[in-house]
Amino acid sequence: MGIATDINRTIISASEHAAPSYFCLGAMKGGTTLFFNSIGQMPQIKLPSKKEIHFFDRTERYYQGLNFYLNHFPLKGEMGTGDITGEATPFYLYHHKVPGRIKRIFPKAKFIVLLRNPSDRAYSHFHHSKSCNVIHDLTFERALQQEDLRLRNDLSNSYDQRYFSFKARGRYAEQLKRWFRYYGRDQFLILQSEEFFKNYENVLKETCDFLRVKFKLGINLAKEYDNILDPVNPGTRQYLVEYFEPYNQELYELLGVNYGWK
């Protein structure tokens, strides 16, 4: 562990590229794309070459090494005094190996998490999977029925874990507890997606305070909400509300807040 840490520090020090100081962990379909593009308009935040680098969650990328990863970030010569950079990969929140992988390299990093009503998130996730052409003839109800079996048979956090984890990704407390085992609670900013959608400037101001960078008013926010979706079957909606109720309560107790999700 010590040798690996020393090697990582040497690589970061020698790299021509800035290292990330923050990570937006997710949740998927929680507004992370809008959030990423919004904070990128802050004067001291420099964005990487793309939003989702998928370095710490995809083994084939992780083993390409730290130089490969750092090459996605701005050159140090492009960074002004007080400037920072970071990334947003929503699968990081869910993937069980990511907290340990990041901790070994970036123990002082900060983390931002956007949490959306898990019932809404699940339905949006389903339509995202359909748009990726990985779900064809399945209804939302049938996909929910298949989820547990698919995830039980896919332990590698790959295909089904990415595209069929409609309920699993909404069990936020178990994911956050895994992260809290590696990092202090003060290294996290937990945001409610619905609050961000309604009062984005207040949320961005809070984010800038957390990251200790300057906040700029009047950013150009092109709101990228989900496409208008057909209403969820009322029975299915009620099932999701009841399913998530104990998990939401666990989250509220963990964070000391109540989002009032229904």
- In this predicted structure, the answer to whether residue 224 has a pLDDT above a threshold of 60 is no
Q: What CATH homologous superfamily does 2-255 map to?
A: P-loop containing nucleotide triphosphate hydrolases (3.40.50.300)
More confident residue, 257 or 262: 257
pLDDT digits (tens, 9 = 90+) for 203-223: 999 999 999 999 998 877 655
pTM: 0.93
Lowest mean pLDDT among 46-60, 175-189, 225-239: 225-239
107 Cβ neighbours under 8 A, 6+ residues apart: none
Contact 160, 178 (CB under 8 A): no
Asked if the model's pLDDT at residue 247 lies above 90, the reply is yes
At 192, give phi and psi (nearest 5°): -90, 125
- Residue-wise pLDDT for 33-90, tens only, equals 999 999 999 999 999 999 999 999 999 999 999 999 999 999 999 999 999 999 999 9
Domain boundaries, the chain: 2-255
What is the pLDDT at residue 217?
86
> Which residues are CB-contacts of 83 (< 8 A; sequence separation ≥ 6)?
18, 44, 45, 46, 213
CA 199 to chain centre: 20
Question: What pLDDT shows up at residue 116?
Answer: 98
Does residue 106 carry a pLDDT above 70? yes
25-55: b or e for each residue (b if 16 or more CB lie within 10 Å)? bbbbbbbbebbbbbbbebebbbbbeebbbbb
Q: What percent of the chain has pLDDT over 70?
A: 95
Contact 118, 172 (CB under 8 A): yes
CB atoms under 10 Å from CB of 96, counted, come to 12
